[in-house]
Amino acid sequence: MKIALRFFTLSATAAAATSAQAQDMVGQLAHGGVGIIVIGVMSLLTLAVAIERLLHLRNNRIAPDALLEEALALWRAGQFEELQARVADADSTLARMIVYLLARRGAAPAAAGEGAAALASLELRAHQHKAYLLGAVATIAPIVGLLGTVIGMIESFHVIAFSGAMGDPALLAGGISKALINTAAGLALALPALCLHHYFKNRVAALGLALEQAIQRLQAAAEAFERGGAQGMVLQAVPHAH
> Please, which pLDDT band fits residue 127 given cuts at 50, 70 and 90?
very high
Determine the Cα–Cα distance for residues 89 and 100; give it in Å rounded to an integer: 14
How far apart CA 112 and CA 28 sit, in angstroms, is 61
pTM more than 0.85: no
* Residue with more model confidence, 64 or 172: 64
How far CA 121 is from CA of 52, 126, 204, 209, in Å, comes to 20, 9, 10, 10
Residue 198 has pLDDT above 50, yes or no: yes
Indicate whether 242 pLDDT > 70.
no
Question: For residue 54, how many other CB atoms are within 10 A of its CB?
Answer: 13
Residue with more model confidence, 136 or 149: 136
Q: What is the mean pLDDT of the chain?
A: 78
Segment 44-73, tens digit of pLDDT: 999 999 999 999 998 888 999 889 999 999
Task: Provide the residue type at 82 as one letter.
Answer: E
pLDDT of residue 78: 86
Higher pLDDT, 103 or 29: 103
Per-residue pLDDT, 171 = 62
For residue 238, is pLDDT > 50? no
The pLDDT, as a whole number, for residue 166 is 56
Task: State pLDDT tens for residues 19-43.
Answer: 444 445 555 555 667 788 899 999 9
CB 207, CB 213: distance < 8 Å: no
Chain-centroid distance, C-alpha 38? 22
At residue 125 the predicted structure's pLDDT band, cuts being 50, 70 and 90, is: very high
Residues contacting residue 100 through CB under 8 Å, at least 6 positions apart: 112, 115, 116, 119
Q: 108 pLDDT exceeds 90?
A: no
Backbone angles phi, psi at 231, to 5 degrees: -65, -40
Indicate if the pLDDT at residue 188 is higher than 60: yes
DSSP secondary structure string for all residues of the chain: -HHHHHHHHHHHHHHHHHHHHHHHHHHHHHTS-HHHHHHHHHHHHHHHHHHHHHHHSSHHHH--HHHHHHHHHHHHHT-HHHHHHHHHS--SHHHHHHHHHHHTTTS-HHHHHHHHHHHHHHHHHHHHHHTHHHHHHHHHHHHHHHHHHHHHHHHHHHHHHHHT-TT-HHHHHHHHHHHHHHHHHHHHHHHHHHHHHHHHHHHHHHHHHHHHHHHHHHHHHHHHHHHHHHHHHHHHHSPPP-
In angstroms, the CA 196 to CA 50 distance is: 7
